[in-house]
Structure 1
Amino acid sequence: MSKRVKIAMLAFVLMFSFIGNSYARTPVESLPQVEKLFMEGKYDRVVTESNRLIDEGAHGREELFYLKGLSQIQLSRFKDARETFRYMIERYPRDRRAFDGGIGIGDAFFLEGKIPESITSYNEALDSYPDHKNASIVYHKLGNAYHKLGSKDKAREYFDKARNSSPLSFESKMMPDAGPASVNISAHAPSKEILMPQTDDTGDYFYVQAGYFKNKGNAEKLTDGLKRKGYDSYLSAQIKAGFIFYRVKVGRFKTKAQAEDMAGRLKADGYKTKVCR
């Protein structure tokens, strides 16, 4: 084989290798694509793509900062996560994510084993946003933190606050009546799912997933919209990688075929669907 042919073949291989890598790592162009990467557990890419989109002035920069901070927690980059959340809060103090950023700072301390610092951060979030509708989440996390320190009376105090301030919340439902119990919020904890208080059905069945959200309000909005159209829609909450996500479900079916039929109806109405069990 001549030297010229060898060079041509090498160039050919390198070209296709480059093309393959380019397709595999095509930059994302919007916030929803970054959210999808987060749901898939591709935390390194979330950080990289969030940084790029933020620098480019993309829409939803406050949400990109939030996803970046959450991803840094999953990567055990706790100090970086705290810096991201702090910057987000300073830049967007009135945004709905500012309160969540305060919680994120506390979570980064908690998961790093710095429990006293996590308690300080959770309390700072409550002090900064005293009337926030999700205060029960922080009470629950404070209960976990004090429980971790062995302060059972203090833990019970905050678990009771969480239960009394929002008796139908996900946090309240996770707490048994027999005293405080710590929900595992380890960054590598397995997922756990429960149905929200709207339903007590915990049987084995097929259903159609119509949405999957980090924000409970968005999940409730979709659920209500589906109900108005006559669909049997309801919520479940899931702890995944230490954070709460909300799944919008439609129907409870004995067979997959029945669920697929419902998925077809939903698609005809313009909804994205996934048949699950």
Structure 2
Amino acid sequence: MGLLTAVGSWYGYRAWQEKIPGTLLRRAEKLVEKQRYQRAISQLRSLHEHYPRTAAGAKALLLAGDIMLLHLHREQEALLAFLLVERDYPETPWCDAARRQVADIYKYHLKDYGRALVSYQKMLDSQMPQTDHIQYEIADTYFRMNNFEQARIEFEILLADYPQSKLVPQSLYQIGSSFFLEGKTDESEQVLNRLCREYPQNSFALEGFFTLAQVHEERGDLHKALQILEKLKGRYARKAILDQRSMHIRQRLKKKNKAI
């Protein structure tokens, strides 16, 4: 065999070898389409083990994590897969996807808010896309921890840094709600009025009006609370809750009138 023939054969072999991981990945993806999840995971793990330095190997680990999280509800195993992607492929797009999954698992599945905050902060520091969404997750995590003061600080950062974000109405609602939960009705009313004034067509404005009714009810201004609720009829999605709240206020008004 001549030198040129040998070199050509070697490059042909290398090209053939590089196609193998992609072929195996496509086979695993077809198994997912057929809902053969456990078989797919086995193949994906094998693919990652044998071809760890390839793009297909990284994708295999990420896909295995997605299957375990979304279809099999094995959150701890999924978390491990995503953490491995984050560790072994730090400069790739798959790392960003894995890091987001890690943070969301800690927050929404395991309720480990401390680790969730660390993960979201890593995402901010790495300047991932949609930083307004990451900032919102940080603020909302503090809200879920009942650390309302810090939550408001984080929401205010979002309002200041991303004034055009679609998350502004939702952030205003969360700020107003946090004040209400702390019994600070004046502050809550101020923020919720801003929400309803500046974003009247937004769904969170309707939630804002509902909470405003609660603010007035808390103060004892039952007529004002009922007036707000009446205006929500036909617009508020949670009709049963709206009717129940309105009935409760009417009953309070009747008792109040009888007492007089």
Q: TM-score, normalised by structure 2?
A: 0.54
Task: Extract unaligned runs of 5+ from structure 1.
Answer: 1-22, 183-277
Q: Answer yes or no: is the 8 Å Cα contact 1:69–1:104 preserved in 2.
A: no
> CA separation in 2, counterparts of 1:83 and 1:73?
11
SS at match of 1:136: helix
Deviation at 1:33, TM superposition (A): 3.6
Relative to structure 1, is the Cα distance of residues 181 and 104 closer, same or farther in structure 2, using a 3 angstrom cutoff?
farther
Greater relative CO, 1 or 2 (CA 8 Å, sep 6+): 1
Relative to structure 1, is the Cα distance of residues 85 and 178 closer, same or farther in structure 2, using a 3 angstrom cutoff?
closer
Q: Answer yes or no: is the 8 Å Cα contact 2:99–2:123 preserved in 1.
A: yes
Larger radius of gyration: 2
Deviation at 1:85, TM superposition (A): 0.6
Q: Answer yes or no: is the 8 Å Cα contact 1:136–1:161 preserved in 2.
A: no
Say whether residues 1:173 and 2:243 are aligned partners. no
Say whether residues 1:127 and 2:197 are aligned partners. yes
> CA separation in 1, counterparts of 2:101 and 2:81?
18
Per the alignment, residue 13 of structure 1 pairs with none
Task: Extract unaligned runs of 5+ from structure 2.
Answer: 1-79, 87-95, 250-260
Amino acid at match of 2:214: N
Amino acid at match of 1:147: E
Where does 1:52-131 land on structure 2 (aligned, <5 Å)?
52-131=122-201
Relative to structure 1, is the Cα distance of residues 60 and 31 closer, same or farther in structure 2, using a 3 angstrom cutoff?
farther
> CA separation in 1, counterparts of 2:153 and 2:170?
14
How many aligned residue pairs are there? 158
Q: Answer yes or no: is the 8 Å Cα contact 1:66–1:101 preserved in 2.
A: yes
> CA separation in 2, counterparts of 1:62 and 1:105?
16
Deviation at 1:177, TM superposition (A): 5.3
> CA separation in 1, counterparts of 2:195 and 2:137?
18
Which one of 103, 126, 133 corresponds to residue 34 of structure 1?
A: 103
> CA separation in 1, counterparts of 2:248 and 2:106?
32
Tell me which protein shows more strand as a share of its residues. 1
Q: Answer yes or no: is the 8 Å Cα contact 1:34–1:49 preserved in 2.
A: yes
Spell out, residue by residue over 1:133-174, the C-alpha distance to the aligned partner (whole angstroms, 9 max, x if none).
Answer: 44211111111222222221121122222224x14x12x331
Deviation at 1:123, TM superposition (A): 0.9
Per the alignment, residue 255 of structure 1 pairs with none
Amino acid at match of 2:155: F
Per the alignment, residue 137 of structure 1 pairs with 207
Q: Answer yes or no: is the 8 Å Cα contact 2:82–2:102 preserved in 1.
A: no
Relative to structure 1, is the Cα distance of residues 83 and 150 closer, same or farther in structure 2, using a 3 angstrom cutoff?
same
Q: TM-score, normalised by structure 1?
A: 0.51
Relative to structure 1, is the Cα distance of residues 179 and 130 closer, same or farther in structure 2, using a 3 angstrom cutoff?
closer
Which one of 149, 171, 176 corresponds to residue 219 of structure 2?
A: 149
Relative to structure 1, is the Cα distance of residues 153 and 45 closer, same or farther in structure 2, using a 3 angstrom cutoff?
farther
Q: Answer yes or no: is the 8 Å Cα contact 1:105–1:121 preserved in 2.
A: yes
> CA separation in 2, counterparts of 1:56 and 1:90?
20
Amino acid at match of 1:36: I
Relative to structure 1, is the Cα distance of residues 101 and 134 closer, same or farther in structure 2, using a 3 angstrom cutoff?
closer
Deviation at 1:46, TM superposition (A): 2.3
Q: Answer yes or no: is the 8 Å Cα contact 1:88–1:98 preserved in 2.
A: yes
Tell me which protein shows more helix as a share of its residues. 2
> CA separation in 1, counterparts of 2:140 and 2:229?
24
> CA separation in 2, counterparts of 1:173 and 1:123?
24
Q: Answer yes or no: is the 8 Å Cα contact 1:102–1:125 preserved in 2.
A: yes
Q: Answer yes or no: is the 8 Å Cα contact 1:146–1:152 preserved in 2.
A: yes
